[in-house]
Amino acid sequence: MDKKILELEKKILQLTTEMEEKYPELYAKLDEAPYTIPNEENPDLLKEMQDYYDYLQTELSEYKKLHGINE
């Protein structure tokens, strides 16, 4: 598997684990707004994973801003 994909998997796992442990109400929201890989013959997996990681970062950043959390 591509090294960049493996690195993104690790980052996504770290981010979702942080959400689950520190912000369970935000983590629960992820189930309500599922993000899926397109059902295509050959999806650009690296791009899709980067988009998902960016989505997670945005959600966490906005959540922290909304709740006055400065870490």
DSSP-derived letter for residue 60 is H
CA atoms within 13 A on the CB side of 6: 3
The Cα 26–Cα 19 span in angstroms is 7
For the chain, how many structural domains are there in total? 1
- Position 9 in a domain: yes
Is pLDDT above 90 for 25?
yes
Contacts 24+ apart (CB under 8 A), 60-66: 60/15, 60/18, 60/19, 60/23, 60/26, 63/23, 63/26
pLDDT at position 71, please? 75
Work out the percent of the chain whose per-residue pLDDT is above 70. Answer: 86
Q: pLDDT tens for residues 28-62?
A: 988 777 666 666 666 788 898 999 999 999 999 99
- Position 23 in a domain: yes
DSSP-derived letter for residue 67 is T
Residue 18 belongs to domain spanning: 3-34+43-66
For the entire predicted model, the pTM comes to 0.84
pLDDT at position 62, please? 96
